[in-house]
Structure 1
């Protein structure tokens, strides 16, 4: 496939650390009981949340001037230019037959991976109806969260890779990363862009493990409690030729980033005729022997 991916060069080397915008994000309120979330797959409609949240205004900085220096191992996310030749990303067959293999090849090159497995595909739209998926319509995620935890990351890896293969890789000392690949389907994105916390500024106590209940299993994610030390970034006006790589879990626990909180948000002074955000995200496991 004719596809390349390169880290974006800084657009403004005079970037100042206080540059950014102010916007509200939705954080969890810590509580005595473990929080519980009933998934849309369980409710048959909107998810149900058995915990309290709070909106807190934070500074969100433009990551583009620093994009070339950001990495999944330090900040927990990276912005890349990666044009796709997959065609219509609204089409399930095009995604399954072309976009998934293309993305697996992209990740294999970027990480020097021996194996990459995409195991979930989700489209999202903030048009009021949500984007069509085989398991129902989805809108942007409006709470700051991480898709996996220290417990659910390895459990999901074993599910996807197979128990025996996961055990073999673990015994051999292989590294396994869970990486999300987030791409606009249309752009430039103005409404509901994605903001990400610099994982190096997130204290472990800020991560609140939450049970996510499905019809056939109980998963676990992190929600994030607000901490003024957290630092936030976004890529303004992302286009379909760009992807954000977001680390959700890493089998290595040696001080590098393992969990990257993220959420959709609404920028201030958004023009009234801004088109809906449409995006597609692929969840993957990346194996590096």
Structure 2
């Protein structure tokens, strides 16, 4: 089934928008997922906004292992993506089959999911609100895992199996989709992993009550090549590479929500869901 969406030539930007990068800093960057102790800031990350050209993802044949992302048509039987039980019982198995078919992974382990609802007039920032409240879109450039935290998350969640699994190639891939469409408000921008240099990625603590994770914040570079997929439907998903142990493929694809200047004034606030999955390749 072809996608009935007008596209622009691949060498001409579709639009320009502002992205919140990380302002270079001397201290270790850190974000808390909860209200930290008195005197400790929720985040010491200072945004460094840059207006960048964004190209039409529909004009290229992107690959998870080349650019670090890919658009895939996928029809789900889920009726309510904000029902956690239904998501785990129906959507997780669907996504596992999809990821195996699209990547050739021998095993897929989906380890969590996040639903997001943007409040009307909400300013894009970290995407985190008070405890118990639904998350909003993340309006800062980041990658969910790092060179260190990717393997560590496998050890955290898979215990005794981890050492054997980590002897082979493994990746972390997100499955991102709008739950209302076509999506116009606060779409997801994705950066071609080939345009990102190692020095652009900055280890950033992600502090939970019971553990400390690590993500990459990203400093600005004019080399970065940004894309988005206009008018995403609820039967389309974006596969996004957040880690790969293999060195000769896309490994880390930065991403961020952004204010879409092409969105109509009455566009409904964004709703979306993302799954995070380990992909294991026993033959690599």
Q: Same fold (TM over 0.5)?
A: yes
Structure 2 Cα separation of the partners of residues 156 and 184 of structure 1? 26
Pairing partner for 1:70 from 62, 70, 79: 62
2:195–2:223: 8 Å Cα contact kept in structure 1? yes
**Structure 1 partner of 2:151:** 154
CA distance in 2, matches of 1:41, 1:185: 29
Q: Are 1:9 and 1:65, in contact at CA under 8 Å, matched by a contact in 2?
A: no
SS of corresponding position for 1:48? coil
Give per-residue Cα distances to partners, 1:204-240, cap 9 Å, x unaligned: 1111111111111111100110100100000001011
Q: Secondary structure at the match of 2:43?
A: strand
Alignment of 1:1-289 (within 5 A): 15-40=9-34, 48-66=42-60, 69-128=61-120, 136-162=133-159, 164-171=160-167, 174-253=168-247, 255-289=248-282
Counterparts of 2:208 and 2:71, CA distance in 1:
32
* Contact 1:11/1:65 (8 A) holds in 2: no
Q: 1:240 to 1:14 in 2, by over 3 A?
A: closer
Structure 1 residues 74 and 9, CA, compared in 2 at 3 Å: closer, same or farther? farther
- CA, structure 1 residues 96+218, in 2 after alignment: closer, same or farther (shift >3 Å)? same
CA positional deviation for 1:155: 0.2
Structure 2 spans left out of the alignment, 5+ residues? none
How far apart are 1:10 and its partner, in Å?
Answer: 10
Determine the C-alpha separation between the residues in 2 that align with 1:200 and 1:216: 35
Residues 10 and 240 of structure 1, relative CA distance in 2, 3 Å threshold: closer
Normalised TM-score (structure 1): 0.88
2:246 match: secondary structure = coil
CA distance in 2, matches of 1:18, 1:272: 25
SS in 1 for 2:166: helix
- Alpha-carbon deviations, 1:75-125, whole Å to 9, x = none? 110110111112221212211111111111111222222211111110011
Measured against aligned partners, the alpha-carbon deviations of 1:125-149 in whole angstroms (never above 9, x if no partner) come to: 11248899x9541000010000000
Matched residue count: 274
Q: Secondary structure at the match of 1:284?
A: strand
Across the aligned residues of Structure 1 and Structure 2, the Cα RMSD in angstroms comes to 2.4
Cα distance in structure 1, aligned partners of 2:63 and 2:264: 32
